Amino acid sequence: MVRLLTESKVVALLGARQIVKTTLARQIAGTYKSEATYFDLESSRDLSRLEDPLLALESLRGLVVLDEIQRRPDIFPTLRVLADRARGSRFLVLGSTSPDLLRQISETLAGRIAFHQLDSRSNKPWRPR
């Protein structure tokens, strides 16, 4: 997972609900060398912060985590714009696996995103190396 974040501007961590995606993302954010910003798209506060996604995200540095991304697929075009800019930010998007979400991500962020799929067998805590 960490390797994917060094190779790609955007990484999607996908899997079923309640499979430790959020826990894994928080552990990665906690060990990230620069700052990390976390958005929970089930939180009304975070949804308000992302009312204008470009304005909210363009000035952030380090790791930006967008949890429950399936709630705001309209953010994908903004991530495409930000991924194309020569800045140091990395984006980790978490979502429940669905064919529609995969199609939207793949179409909008083609060539800019790496995928990591979690399943119930990989339900183990991430350990930094």
pLDDT, position 86: 66
Q: pTM (2 decimals)?
A: 0.85
Q: How far apart are CA 66 and CA 105, in angstroms?
A: 13
Query: Residue 88: helix, strand or coil by DSSP?
Result: coil
Question: CA 10, 15, 20, 24: dihedral to nearest 10 degrees?
Answer: -20
Cross-strand bridge partners of residue 115: 12
Give pLDDT tens digits for 111-127.
Answer: 888 988 887 654 444 34
Its CATH architecture, for the domain 2-122, is 3-Layer(aba) Sandwich (3.40)
For residue 24, the Cα-to-chain-centroid distance in whole angstroms is 12
H/E element, 15: strand 10-15
pLDDT at 63: 93
106 vs 78 pLDDT, higher one: 78
Residue found under tokens 């380090």: 62
